[in-house]
Structure 1
Amino acid sequence: MTAALPTRTAVLDPPTWQARRQAHEQRMAGWLTPHLHRRRSGVKHPVEDFLFTYYSHRPAQLRRWHPGAGVTLRAADPAEFGRDYLATPDGLTLDTEGVRGRRADSITWIRSLLVATADRPAQYGCFGMHEWAMVYRQTQDEVRHNAWPLRLSPAETARTVEANRVRCSHFDAYRFFTAPARPLNLLTPTRQTQHENEQPGCLHANMDLYKWAYKLSPLVCSELVADCFELAREIRTLDMRASPYDLAALGYPPIRVETASGRAEYVAAQRDFTDRAGPLRARLVDAIDDGASSTAARR
């Protein structure tokens, strides 16, 4: 489900905004409840828990609903929404100017990255080798998800990495490469060159739309954060199915990127995610710009 962005300067009556909040909370419960149960039980899941352990947004923050910039909520309790909201004659509305003022540098950085990524042609030649480079020349005990076996032997895994040119453009994937794998990459991504390297075919760049959405919250509505989260979950599934790990016992049949047919399957899925991520990236940029317009209109 993809929710529309709220209309700028919209005034929502209590039944309308409360229904939106309830729908968001119910949507989140489908993802949060199993994770929280596993966490209480001390059970780890290499696919389903990734978005909660790798990213900093906590389950309680993800569950909380925000209407986004330019929306006024009639009869809303300020205590339920926090310091970022202002009381107006029409109701409660986001203090867009205050939020933007406190986060100006971060918002500018995120917007420029989103625009730069969208403007660059998509590349589809990585074949998911970033996950393989993260276990390259490691033993089973050394790999990150060592509770789960690798599909191939360490020697076969290494040969797969060496036979496929590693061309990862994403710094936050590259930084987890093993030391022997880093020289095999065609690029040397850094945080400083992130705007120059990220491209819309990259699974991790598209997964990170969730990170940029929650970092922009509450300027963006929670429905958009949830849409980005949903996409990131699906991307993580592809990422791990194409990885060197054997997760068939968890219900994730492998995409064998060490074969020509597996690489073709991976690229087809990668292209689909690129097509789906594009509108979300554009919605995030629009939300930033709408927030700027809301601020200017109030001056």
Structure 2
Amino acid sequence: MFWAAAVEQLRLLAAEAWSEREAAHAQRVRRYADPYLARRSAGKKHPVEDFLFTYYTQKPGQLLRWHPGAGVVLSGEPAIARTSWKHYRKLDDGELASVGLPPGSVAVTFDRHNFLADRQDAVAFADIILRGTAARPAQFGCFGLHEWAMVYRQDKFDLRHEYLKLRLGSDGTDKVVEDNRIRCSHFDAFRFYTPDAIPRNELAPTRENQRHMEQPGCLHANMDLYKWAYKLLPALPSELVMDCFELSWRIRAMDMQASPYDLEDWGYPAIRIETPDGKAAYVEHQRSFAAEAAALRGRLAHALALLGTLNMQ
């Protein structure tokens, strides 16, 4: 494995332009983050809308920071604070001249060299997952049964979302699991199965075989585009990270609508995957999300290519 040398192509972003982008990003993030922070302060939970802030490691304050991405130069007084941000660096006089700034100006850009030195393993793994997932055929026959397997034969007091009711009750939920094939390919869903549900899964995803199992029809693999995106910050523009975040947000909503939980009172009507019509609706949504995810996966792969050429055999 090696990173091929790449000539850094720098371009100056006008102060007005990046100020507008930073403000737009903040507004976009606060739409999701502010209600979550208010609920957290009040000691309240939301089964759908808290997920991206509790399951993933990127916190609201981190998400709120706007990054322009690799190769973009920010200058002027507002850029001074970024001289202390991780994986940013100041331009030298030669670089300042190349973007039309006078010597001694304060200007910062993404620090590609130190980023790759610090994050090479994480970037390499993201590349493997993204390319491998894109290369495999999409599977659309899971019907969201992973959520049902997570509560199979589980006492109501031991449910993962103990404050929610099961739409079909415990016996009805167990029957759905028993009446359907379960073929979950995503380890981070499979690892939450109840002990009785594990042998019912026709596949055996593990952390070790994850790079060979991920496939582009999987809702959770497509939600995880957000994870791979924020792990590449600040190499990526924050707008791309938020595109992944918003897709993940919508997938989570649909995933929980197809779950065994009754979320009608939360504003999320059920997709009844125990019925033929519900299965058809699930697959329709799943295919639409897969198409959106494919485009985002391509953008992430392109961003990785801009960092350098990664060859892995």
> Do structure 1's residue 24 and structure 2's residue 25 form an aligned pair?
yes
CA distance in 2, matches of 1:178, 1:234: 26
For the residues of structure 2 that align with 1:10 and 1:41, how far apart are their CA atoms? Answer: 45
Contact 1:78–1:85 (Cα < 8 Å) also in 2: no
Kept in 2: contact 1:78–1:87 (CA 8 A) = no
Partner of 1:64: 65
Question: 2-side partners of 1:212 and 1:291: how far apart?
Answer: 15
Determine if contact 1:151/1:246 at 8 Å carries over to the other structure.
Answer: yes
Determine the structure 2 residue equivalent to 1:296.
none
Partner residue of 1:121 out of 121, 137, 143: 137
Q: Which residue of 1 aligns with 2:4?
A: none
Under a length normalisation based on structure 1, what TM-score does the superposition of the two structures give?
0.93
* Alpha-carbon distance in structure 2 between the residues aligned to 1:52 and 1:83: 22
**1:56-98 deviation digits (Å, cap 9, x = unpaired):** 1110000000111111112242323613212212421111111
Structure 2 distance, partners of 1:152, 1:10, is 58
1:254 is paired with a residue of what secondary structure? coil
Q: Does 1:80 pair with 2:110?
A: no
The superposition leaves residues 218-247 of structure 1 with CA deviations (integer Å, 9 ceiling, x where unpaired) of 111111111110000000000000000001
Q: How does 1:120-269 map to 2 (within 5 A)?
A: 120-269=136-285
| Residues 82 and 88, structure 2, Cα contact 8 Å, conserved in 1 | no
Give the Cα separation in 2 of the matches to 1:275 and 1:78. 40
Question: What TM-score, normalized by structure 2, do the two folds share?
Answer: 0.89
Aligned equivalents of 1:59, 1:267: Cα separation in 2 = 32
8 Å contact kept, 1:70–1:291? no
Secondary structure in 1 aligned to 2:108? Answer: strand
In structure 2, how many angstroms separate the alpha carbons of the residues matched to 1:162 and 1:277?
31
Identity within the alignment, %: 52
After superposing the two structures, state which structure 1 stretch, 41-50 or 67-76, moved more.
Answer: 67-76
- Conserved? CA contact 1:9–1:70, under 8 Å: yes
Answer whether contact 2:82 2:108 (CA < 8 A) is retained: no
What residue in structure 2 maps to residue 48 of structure 1? 49
Whole-Å separation in 2 of the counterparts to 1:191 and 1:172 = 8
The aligned counterpart of 2:3 is none
Cα distance in 2 between the residues matched to 1:136 and 1:289: 43
Letter in 1 for 2:90: A
Could you say what the CA RMSD is over the residues aligned between the two structures, in angstroms?
Answer: 1.1
Q: CA deviation at 1:11?
A: 1.4
Q: In structure 1, what is the Cα distance between the partners aligned to 2:74 and 2:288?
A: 37
Check the 8 A contact 2:167/2:260 in 1, yes or no: yes
User: Paired residue for 1:14?
Assistant: 15
CA distance in 2, matches of 1:62, 1:83: 15
**Alignment gaps of 5+ in structure 1:** 1-7, 294-299
Which AA in structure 2 matches 1:135?
V
Secondary structure of the residue aligned to 1:92 is strand
Letter in 1 for 2:264: A
Unmatched 5+ stretches in structure 2: 1-8, 100-106
Distance in 1 between residues matched to 2:215 and 2:86, nearest whole Å: 36
Aligned to 2:103: none
Counterpart of 2:66, as a letter, is: W
Deviates more, 1:89-98 or 1:20-29: 89-98
